[in-house]
Chain A
Amino acid sequence: MAELAQLLEDWEPVIGLEVHVQLATATKIFSPSATTFGAPANSLTDPLVMGMPGTLPVFNRSVLELALRLGVATGSQIRSKSRFARKHYFYPDQPKGYQISQFDEPLCENGHIDVILAGAVKRVKLERIHLEEDAGKNTHVGAVSHVDLNRAGVPLVEVVTAPELTSSEEAAEFMRSLHRLVRWLEISEADMEKGQLRCDANVSVRLRGEDRLGTRTELKNINSFKFVQNAIDHEIARQLRLIDSGGQVQRETRLWDATLGQSAPMRSKEEANDYRYFPDPDLPPLVVDGATMANILRALPELPAARFERYQKMQNLSADDARTLVGDRALADYFDTAIKARPGDTGRTIANWMLTELLGALNAGGITVAQSPMPPERLAALVVLVETGVISGKIGKEIFEESYRTGEEPAAIVQRRGVQQISDEPLLTAIIDSVVKRHQKQAEDYASGKDGLFGFFVGQVMKETQGRANPVMATELLHKRLGR
Chain B
Amino acid sequence: MSSSPEFWTVTDTVKRVASGEISAVRAVNTLISRITNLDRELGAYLSTDETGALRDAAEVDRRRKENIPLGPLAGVPIALKDNLVTRGIPTTAGSKILQGWVPPFDATVVEKLRAAGAVILGKANLDEFGMGSSTERSAYKKTRNPWDTSRVPGGSSGGSAAAVAAGLAAASLGTDTGGSIRQPAAFCGVVGLKPTYGRVSRWGVIAFASSLDQVGPLTRTVKDAALVLQVIAGHDLRDSTSLDAPVPAFADAATGDVKGMKIGLPKEYFEGAIDADIRAALDRTIAALKDKGALFDDVSLPHTKLALPAYYLVAPAEASSNLARYDGIRYGKRAEGTDLLDVYRKSRGAGFGPEVKRRIMLGTYALRSGYYEAYYKKAQQIRALIKRDFDEVFAKVDVVLTPTTPTVAFRFNAKATPLDMYLGDIFTLACNLAGLPGMSVPCGISSDGLPIGAQLLGKPLDEVTVIRAGSAIEAAVGLGERRPAGIGGI
Whether A425 sits at the interface, judged by CB under 8 Å, is no
Instruction: Please name all residues of chain A whose beta carbon is closer than 8 Å to the beta carbon of B239 when the two chains form the complex.
Output: 56, 58
Whether B376 sits at the interface, judged by CB under 8 Å, is yes
Whether A57 sits at the interface, judged by CB under 8 Å, is yes
CB distance from B50 to the nearest CB of A (A): 24
Interface centre among A58, A147, A275 (most CB of B within 10 A): A58
Tell me if A283 and B240 are in contact (CB < 8 A).
Answer: yes
Tell me if B324 and A57 are in contact (CB < 8 A).
Answer: no
Tell me if B324 and A96 are in contact (CB < 8 A).
Answer: yes
What CA separation (Å) do A274 and B364 show in the bound complex?
10
Whether B237 sits at the interface, judged by CB under 8 Å, is yes
Nearest chain A residue, comparing its CB with the CB of B330: A50
Whether B321 sits at the interface, judged by CB under 8 Å, is yes
Whether A471 sits at the interface, judged by CB under 8 Å, is no
CB distance from B28 to the nearest CB of A (A): 26
Q: Which residues 225-241 in A have Cβ within 8 Å of B in the complex?
A: none
Bitwise, A273-301 to B at CB < 8 A (1) or not (0) is 01111100111100000000000000000
Nearest chain A residue, comparing its CB with the CB of B212: A281
Whether A88 sits at the interface, judged by CB under 8 Å, is yes
Whether A119 sits at the interface, judged by CB under 8 Å, is no
Nearest chain A residue, comparing its CB with the CB of B242: A56
Bitwise, A143-167 to B at CB < 8 A (1) or not (0) is 0010100000000000000000000
Instruction: Please name all residues of chain A whose beta carbon is closer than 8 Å to the beta carbon of B367 when the two chains form the complex.
Output: 88, 276-278
Instruction: Please name all residues of chain A whose beta carbon is closer than 8 Å to the beta carbon of B47 when the two chains form the complex.
Output: none
Bitwise, B395-435 to A at CB < 8 A (1) or not (0) is 00000000000000000000000000000000000000000
Whether B149 sits at the interface, judged by CB under 8 Å, is no
- On whether A90 and B327 interact (CB within 8 A), knowing A55-B203, A281-B318, A282-B241, the answer reads yes
Bitwise, B319-338 to A at CB < 8 A (1) or not (0) is 01101111101110000000
What CA separation (Å) do A103 and B236 show in the bound complex?
27
What CA separation (Å) do A282 and B318 show in the bound complex?
10
Nearest chain B residue, comparing its CB with the CB of A90: B344
What CA separation (Å) do A275 and B369 show in the bound complex?
7
Q: Which residues 27-52 in A have Cβ within 8 Å of B in the complex?
A: 47, 50-52
CB distance from B164 to the nearest CB of A (A): 23
What CA separation (Å) do A90 and B317 show in the bound complex?
16
Instruction: Please name all residues of chain B whose beta carbon is closer than 8 Å to the beta carbon of A92 when the two chains form the complex.
Output: 327, 329, 340
What CA separation (Å) do A391 and B54 show in the bound complex?
90
Selecting from B97-105, B166-174, B225-233, B452-460, the interface stretch reads B97-105
Tell me if A98 and B321 are in contact (CB < 8 A).
Answer: yes
Instruction: Please name all residues of chain B whose beta carbon is closer than 8 Å to the beta carbon of A90 when the two chains form the complex.
Output: 324, 327, 344
What CA separation (Å) do A55 and B207 show in the bound complex?
9
Bitwise, A119-161 to B at CB < 8 A (1) or not (0) is 0000000000000000000000000010100000000000000
Whether B202 sits at the interface, judged by CB under 8 Å, is yes
Instruction: Please name all residues of chain B whose beta carbon is closer than 8 Å to the beta carbon of A343 when the two chains form the complex.
Output: none
Contact of B330 among A57, A95, A145 (CB under 8 A): A95
Contact of B207 among A54, A277, A278, A283 (CB under 8 A): A54
Tell me if A59 and B240 are in contact (CB < 8 A).
Answer: yes
Tell me if A277 and B372 are in contact (CB < 8 A).
Answer: yes
Instruction: Please name all residues of chain B whose beta carbon is closer than 8 Å to the beta carbon of A52 when the two chains form the complex.
Output: 85, 103-105, 330-331
Nearest chain B residue, comparing its CB with the CB of A48: B238
Bitwise, A54-67 to B at CB < 8 A (1) or not (0) is 11111100000000
Instruction: Please name all residues of chain A whose beta carbon is closer than 8 Å to the beta carbon of B204 when the two chains form the complex.
Output: 54-55
Instruction: Please name all residues of chain A whose beta carbon is closer than 8 Å to the beta carbon of B237 when the two chains form the complex.
Output: 58
Contact of A281 among B93, B101, B205, B211 (CB under 8 A): B211
Tell me if A98 and B324 are in contact (CB < 8 A).
Answer: yes
CB distance from A100 to the nearest CB of B (A): 11
Instruction: Please name all residues of chain A whose beta carbon is closer than 8 Å to the beta carbon of B104 when the two chains form the complex.
Output: 47, 52
Tell me if B240 and A282 are in contact (CB < 8 A).
Answer: yes
Instruction: Please name all residues of chain A whose beta carbon is closer than 8 Å to the beta carbon of B376 when the two chains form the complex.
Output: 278
What CA separation (Å) do A284 and B203 show in the bound complex?
15
Q: Which residues 85-116 in A have Cβ within 8 Å of B in the complex?
A: 86, 88, 90-92, 95-98
Tell me if A54 and B325 are in contact (CB < 8 A).
Answer: no
Bitwise, B77-107 to A at CB < 8 A (1) or not (0) is 0000000110000010100001001011101
Question: How many residue-residue contacts, CB under 8 A, span A and B?
Answer: 103
What CA separation (Å) do A16 and B326 show in the bound complex?
36
Bitwise, A65-94 to B at CB < 8 A (1) or not (0) is 000000000000000000000101011100
- On whether A53 and B325 interact (CB within 8 A), knowing A47-B104, A278-B367, the answer reads yes
Instruction: Please name all residues of chain B whose beta carbon is closer than 8 Å to the beta carbon of A281 when the two chains form the complex.
Output: 209-211, 241, 318
Interface bracket on A: 20 to 34
Bitwise, B355-379 to A at CB < 8 A (1) or not (0) is 0000000001001110010001000
Nearest chain A residue, comparing its CB with the CB of B213: A281
Instruction: Please name all residues of chain B whose beta carbon is closer than 8 Å to the beta carbon of A59 when the two chains form the complex.
Output: 240
Instruction: Please name all residues of chain A whose beta carbon is closer than 8 Å to the beta carbon of B206 when the two chains form the complex.
Output: 53-54
Tell me if B368 and A276 are in contact (CB < 8 A).
Answer: yes
Nearest chain B residue, comparing its CB with the CB of A284: B240
- On whether A97 and B325 interact (CB within 8 A), knowing A54-B203, A57-B240, A276-B364, the answer reads yes
Nearest chain A residue, comparing its CB with the CB of B211: A281
- On whether A88 and B321 interact (CB within 8 A), knowing A54-B85, A274-B368, the answer reads yes
Q: Which residues 95-129 in B have Cβ within 8 Å of A in the complex?
A: 98, 101, 103-105, 107
Instruction: Please name all residues of chain B whose beta carbon is closer than 8 Å to the beta carbon of A51 when the two chains form the complex.
Output: 325, 330
Instruction: Please name all residues of chain A whose beta carbon is closer than 8 Å to the beta carbon of B240 when the two chains form the complex.
Output: 56-59, 282-284
Tell me if B98 and A147 are in contact (CB < 8 A).
Answer: no
What CA separation (Å) do A283 and B238 show in the bound complex?
11
Instruction: Please name all residues of chain B whose beta carbon is closer than 8 Å to the beta carbon of A97 when the two chains form the complex.
Output: 321, 323-327
Q: Which residues 331-369 in A have Cβ within 8 Å of B in the complex?
A: none
What CA separation (Å) do A244 and B241 show in the bound complex?
57
Tell me if A53 and B344 are in contact (CB < 8 A).
Answer: no
- On whether A53 and B93 interact (CB within 8 A), knowing A274-B369, A276-B369, the answer reads yes
CB distance from A88 to the nearest CB of B (A): 6
Instruction: Please name all residues of chain A whose beta carbon is closer than 8 Å to the beta carbon of B340 when the two chains form the complex.
Output: 91-92, 145
Tell me if A53 and B98 are in contact (CB < 8 A).
Answer: yes
What CA separation (Å) do A54 and B103 show in the bound complex?
10
CB distance from B324 to the nearest CB of A (A): 2
Tell me if A282 and B210 are in contact (CB < 8 A).
Answer: yes
Tell me if A56 and B238 are in contact (CB < 8 A).
Answer: yes
Instruction: Please name all residues of chain A whose beta carbon is closer than 8 Å to the beta carbon of B207 when the two chains form the complex.
Output: 53-54, 282
Nearest chain A residue, comparing its CB with the CB of B331: A52
Instruction: Please name all residues of chain B whose beta carbon is closer than 8 Å to the beta carbon of A50 when the two chains form the complex.
Output: 330-331
CB distance from B459 to the nearest CB of A (A): 21
What CA separation (Å) do A92 and B209 show in the bound complex?
23
Instruction: Please name all residues of chain B whose beta carbon is closer than 8 Å to the beta carbon of A284 when the two chains form the complex.
Output: 240-241
What CA separation (Å) do A91 and B341 show in the bound complex?
9
What CA separation (Å) do A92 and B202 show in the bound complex?
25
Instruction: Please name all residues of chain A whose beta carbon is closer than 8 Å to the beta carbon of B321 when the two chains form the complex.
Output: 86, 88, 97-98, 276, 278
Tell me if A56 and B202 are in contact (CB < 8 A).
Answer: yes
What CA separation (Å) do A91 and B367 show in the bound complex?
19
What CA separation (Å) do A283 and B364 show in the bound complex?
20
Contact of B205 among A54, A96, A275 (CB under 8 A): A54
Contacts A/B (CB < 8 Å), 16 sampled:
A47-B103, A50-B330, A50-B331, A51-B325, A52-B85, A53-B101, A56-B202, A56-B203, A88-B321, A276-B321, A276-B364, A276-B369, A277-B367, A278-B321, A281-B211, A283-B240
Known: A51-B330, A274-B369. 5 other contacts (CB 8 A): A52-B104, A56-B202, A92-B327, A97-B324, A274-B368
List residues of chain B with CB under 8 Å of any chain A CB: 84-85, 91, 93, 98, 101, 103-105, 107, 202-207, 209-211, 237-241, 317-318, 320-321, 323-327, 329-331, 340, 344, 364, 367-369, 372, 376
Shortest beta-carbon contacts, A-B, top 6: A97-B324, A276-B367, A281-B210, A281-B211, A54-B85, A54-B204
